[in-house]
Structure 1
Amino acid sequence: METTETFESLVRAEFSRKSIYLNTASNGLLPARTVAALGEAALLRAEGRPLLPLYDDVEAARAAYARLVGVPGSRVAAGASVAAHTGVIAASLPAGAEVLTAEDDFTSVLNPFHVRGDLKVRTVPLERIAESVRPGTALVAVSAAQSADGRLADLPALREAARAHGARTYVDFSQAAGWLPVDAGAHDFTASVAFKWLLGPHGAAFLTVPEDFGGLVPVLAGWVAAETPWESCYGPVSELAHSARRFDLSHALFSYAGLRRSLELIEELGLSAVHAHTVGLADRFRAGLADLGHEPRPAPGSAIVSVPGLGSRQQELSEWGIEVSDRAGNLRAAFHLYNTAADVDRLLQALAS
C-alpha cells in the first residue's frame, strides 16, 4: 500500500462492523464486495441461469491463493475443509508410518492420522517439534499458528530437521494465511480454510502439494479432479488432472465466488501492510495487558493473543459489544485488518473495569 490513509479508506469501504470484532481466529468478517458476489451467485441459481461463470471464480481464487502462499497455481487444490485434506494425506501413508504432531494442535490437523488406527502418531510440545524429528519419522504435521493461543511454529527449523531425516512436512496455514507471510513452497503439503483470515465464506479450503504430488493418492477424486471434467461425469475418471486439481473436491461455487473477491482485497491492501497492522495491534494489546498486571501466553510476532484466567469474561464483553473467544479459560483476541488501535484500547478499558 502507498499510504496508511489508503489502507484505512479501503478497509472502511468494505466493512461496516456492528461491534468491536476481535474473533477472526474463529471467523473472519466478510467484505462488502464478497457479500455482493454471494448475492449475485445466488441469483444465478434462483433465476435458473447457467452457473458456468462461477467455475471461473474457483480458478481465480485458486490463482490468488497461490500468489499469496508463493507457489504456482498448478500446486494448489481447491477443497472444502482442512480435515478432508488431512484425510487424503493420512490415507496415503503406509501402515506403521510415524507421524509427529504438536500437543493440543487443532483437531482437523490431527484426527485423520489417529482414526487410521495403524499409524504411529507421536505428540510433543510445539517448542520441541523440530528437535523431535528422528530417523523413521515419515511426516510432521503442525499448524503454522496455534488456534488456541497464537504461538508460531519455528517452520525453518522444522523444515531443516525434516530434510535431515527424510521426513515430509504438512503445515496448516488456517490461522496464518491472510496476515502472516508464508511460503508453501518450503513444505511438502500445506492446507488452509478460507473463512478466517482470508475473509471468505465457509465451504472453501486449499491444499498445496509438490509438483510430483508427494505420493498422495486422490482417494476423494470426483469428476472435477479429471483432466477434462465435463467429459468425465459418468463412469470412472480415465485421466486425472495433470496438476494439483486432481485433489479438488466438488466446488462450493457460491463460496468461491465470494472468496475470489476477498482475496482480491487482501492483494490490494498488500500482505506486508496487513501483517504490520495486525501484529502492531496485538503488540499494543500485550503492552496494555502488562500495565494491567496480566501476562498473556508467550506468542511473539503473532496476531493472536491468549490471556490465561480471563476467558470467563467473554460473555460479559460480548454484551458490551466486544467479541472475543473463551478457549479453555483463556481470553483469545485475534486482530485483523479491520481492527484499530481504538478497538485495542476499548478492550483494555473493559478488562480494567
Structure 2
Amino acid sequence: METLDHALVRAEFAPTTTYLNTASTGLLPARTVATMGDAVASVAAGRPADMFEDVEAARASFARIAGVPADRVAAGASVAVYTGVIAASLPSGAEVLTAEGDFSSTVNPFHGRGDLKVRTAPLEGIADAVRPGTALVAVSAAQSADGRIADLPAIREAARAHGARTYVDVSQSAGWLPVDADAQDYTSSVAFKWLLCPRGVTFFVVPQDFGGLSPLFAGWVAGEHPWDSCYGPVAELAHSARRFDESPSLFSYAGARHSLALVEELGVDAIRAHDLALADRFRAGLAALGHTPVPAPGSPIVSVPGLGVRQPELSSAGIEVSDRAGNLRAAFHLYNTESDVDRLLAALKG
C-alpha cells in the first residue's frame, strides 16, 4: 500500500482551522498560491505571463489522473455548462435517468430543456432502473450531500445492455478515488474540491469521436489555430476536445497546473488510503457517541443526520464542516490528521 508523503503535505498546507470541509472547497497548496501571485503581478507590471501554457499543462495533468489522452479533455469553468452541452445533443423526448438528490449542475440542464423525459431513481437502484429507451444515464461518482458512491461498473453494464450513453460527474471523487474516464461516454469534474485547484477550473472528457456533441459555445479558443480565429466565424474547430474549451480563467489555471502536479506527486492511491483511514476513525468515534452516519462505505465524506444544527458553533470553535439538509457533513482529505478527527469528536461529545 502506498503511503502519503506527510513531509510534503506539511510543506504545502498550514491551515489555521480544523478544516474538514473539502467537499465544499479544497485548500490551496503553497506552490499554487505563490504561482497565482506571480501571475497577477506579471499583469500588474505590464508583462503578462503566457498562462495559456498553464492551461495545457493542467489539461495534460488531469488527463493522466483520468486515464485518457489529453486530446480528449476540454478545459472550462463549469460542470453545468458541459452538462448543458450533453443535454443539447439529445433528441426531443429522449429519456435521461438520474439519481435522486444528485447535485444540480449534473442534472438541472436536462430539466431545462423542457422536452426531455427526466426520470430519477435511488442511487443504489440506478443500474436496475435503466430500461429500453433510456438514452442517457447521468450520475455523480460520489454524492455531494452524503458521500455515497455509485456502482459505476453496474451502471455502465446496464447502460450498454440497453444502448444508453453514460455521463459521470467526478467532482466529489477525483483526487481520492481513481478515475477511469475511458469507461464512460462523458466525464466532468470541477477541480476546486479534492483536486485542490482554484475556482474557475473544470474538465470535461469526451469520446474520441466527440460522442455526438456540438461545440455550441465555441469561441476563438476552440479553433484549431486560436490566434487565427479571433475575428468572424471560426474557420476550423480544434480537431481535439479543445473545441469544447471555454475561454479560460487564466489566473486559476496558472495555479491549477501546480495543484494537479501535487496530486500526481502524492498519488491518488496514497491519498485515498489516508482519507479513508480518517473517515473510518470518525465513523468509529460516532458509533461510540451513539450517532449513525449515512452509510457510505469507502468514502471520505461522512454525513451525520440530525447534527447539521451544530455547524455554526463548530465553526465558531475553529472546526469547519458543512450543514447539508440537517446533516453534519465532514470531509477528510490529505491535509487532515487523526488529531483533527479527535477534535471534532470531542466537540460533538461536549
With normalisation by structure 2, the TM-score equals 0.99
User: Aligned partner of 1:182: which letter?
Assistant: V
Shift of 1:170: 0.3
Match of 1:154 among 119, 126, 151: 151
C-alpha distance in 2 between matches for 1:227 and 1:218: 13
Q: Return 41-50 or 269-278, whichever deviates more.
A: 41-50
Match of 1:249 among 225, 246, 249: 246
User: Aligned partner of 2:44: which letter?
Assistant: A
Q: Give the secondary-structure state (helix, strand or coil) at the position aligned to 1:195.
A: coil
Match of 2:92 among 78, 87, 95: 95
Aligned to 1:14: 12
Q: Give the secondary-structure state (helix, strand or coil) at the position aligned to 2:51.
A: helix
Aligned to 1:318: 315
Match of 1:130 among 101, 113, 127: 127
Shift of 1:3: 5.3
- Pairing of 1:34-113 with structure 2 (within 5 A): 34-51=32-49, 53-113=50-110
C-alpha distance in 1 between matches for 2:226 and 2:12: 35
C-alpha distance in 2 between matches for 1:43 and 1:328: 41
Q: Deviations over 1:235-287 (max 9, x none)?
A: 10111101100000001100000000000111111111000000111011011
C-alpha distance in 1 between matches for 2:74 and 2:208: 12
C-alpha distance in 2 between matches for 1:120 and 1:330: 31
For the Cα contact (< 8 Å) 2:2–2:270, is it kept in 1?
no
For the Cα contact (< 8 Å) 2:39–2:48, is it kept in 1?
no
C-alpha distance in 2 between matches for 1:334 and 1:3: 19
Q: Deviations over 1:162-192 (max 9, x none)?
A: 0000000000000000111121110000100
Alpha-carbon spacing, 1:174–1:2, altered in 2? closer, same or farther (3 Å)? closer
Aligned to 2:298: 301
C-alpha distance in 1 between matches for 2:187 and 2:171: 9
Aligned to 2:324: 327
Q: Deviations over 1:8-28 (max 9, x none)?
A: 100000011000000000000
Shift of 1:2: 6.9
- Pairing of 1:114-263 with structure 2 (within 5 A): 114-263=111-260
Structure 1's unaligned 5+ residue stretches are: none
Structure 2's unaligned 5+ residue stretches are: none
Q: Give the secondary-structure state (helix, strand or coil) at the position aligned to 1:273.
A: helix
User: Aligned partner of 1:269: which letter?
Assistant: L
Shift of 1:144: 0.3
Report the number of matched residues. Answer: 350
User: Aligned partner of 2:24: which letter?
Assistant: S
Q: Give the secondary-structure state (helix, strand or coil) at the position aligned to 2:193.
A: coil
Aligned to 2:282: 285
Aligned pair 1:26/2:27, yes or no? no
Identity, % of aligned pairs? 74
Q: Give the secondary-structure state (helix, strand or coil) at the position aligned to 2:102.
A: coil
C-alpha distance in 2 between matches for 1:46 and 1:94: 48
Shift of 1:50: 3.4
| 4+ aligned runs moved over 2 Å, structure 1 | 1-4
User: Aligned partner of 2:334: which letter?
Assistant: L
Q: Deviations over 1:96-126 (max 9, x none)?
A: 1100000000000011000100100001111
Q: Give the secondary-structure state (helix, strand or coil) at the position aligned to 1:131.
A: helix
For the Cα contact (< 8 Å) 2:2–2:269, is it kept in 1?
no
RMSD: 0.9
Q: Give the secondary-structure state (helix, strand or coil) at the position aligned to 2:98.
A: strand
Q: Give the secondary-structure state (helix, strand or coil) at the position aligned to 1:171.
A: strand
